[in-house]
């Protein structure tokens, strides 16, 4: 699918709501940047939001823009290894977590497999992803519309998000 010498732009969502989530996200960003085949280009501020379709404490979220030589599934597996290193457990769907890393977008690739769907299927519905994505990439067009319009709709639906200082 990809040429090993070529680099691709991807966006990664980071989230955590257990232990020290802000510190975890900062350390996860360092781990992503230290991963072979990945270069961290930009990262957003940290944002706090209540769980969506889940329970537990508030989440801390961010988005990172990376350049990578990894194919989409290789990238996913690298991110899952980082999650595991931070003690990620998948007890049940939407369970509270020490770290969650999702591939949001991968250089225009559209893929829907049992292991990875890009663009992320719920990206357009989540203020806690859209706001940090807009912060680092501007009002980009997504499959469902402009990021700013999608964020406005998510906020209008009652989602709450707060930028941390």
Residue pointed to by tokens 């194919």 = 71
Instruction: Give CA–CA dist 8/17, Å, rounded.
Output: 30
Residue pair 99/86 in contact (Cβ under 8 Å)? The answer is: yes
Secondary element (H or E) of residue 21: helix 21-34
Write out the catalytic residue numbers.
88, 97, 100, 102
Instruction: Give CA–CA dist 108/124, Å, rounded.
Output: 15
Nearest C-alpha neighbor of 5 from the set 37, 34, 41: 37
Helices (H) and strands (E) in the chain, counts: 4, 10
Q: How many residues does the chain have?
A: 165
Instruction: Give CA–CA dist 111/155, Å, rounded.
Output: 28
């Amino acid at each position: 699918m990809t040429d090993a010498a070529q680099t691709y732009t991807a966006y990664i969502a980071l989230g955590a709501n257990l232990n020290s989530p802000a510190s975890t996200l900062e350390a996860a960003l360092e781990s992503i940047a230290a991963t072979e085949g990945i270069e961290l280009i930009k990262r957003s501020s940290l944002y706090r939001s209540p769980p969506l379709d889940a329970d537990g404490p508030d989440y801390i979220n961010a988005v990172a823009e990376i350049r990578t030589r990894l194919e989409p599934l290789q990238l996913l597996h690298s991110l899952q290894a980082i999650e595991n290193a931070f003690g990620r457990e998948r007890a049940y769907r939407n369970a509270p977590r020490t770290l969650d890393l999702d591939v949001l977008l991968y250089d225009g690739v559209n893929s829907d497999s049992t292991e990875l769907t890009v663009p992320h299927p719920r990206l357009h519905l989540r203020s806690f992803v859209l706001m940090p994505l807009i912060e680092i990439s501007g009002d980009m067009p997504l499959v469902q519309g402009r990021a700013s319009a999608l964020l406005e709709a998510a906020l209008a639906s009652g989602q709450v998000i707060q930028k941390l200082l």
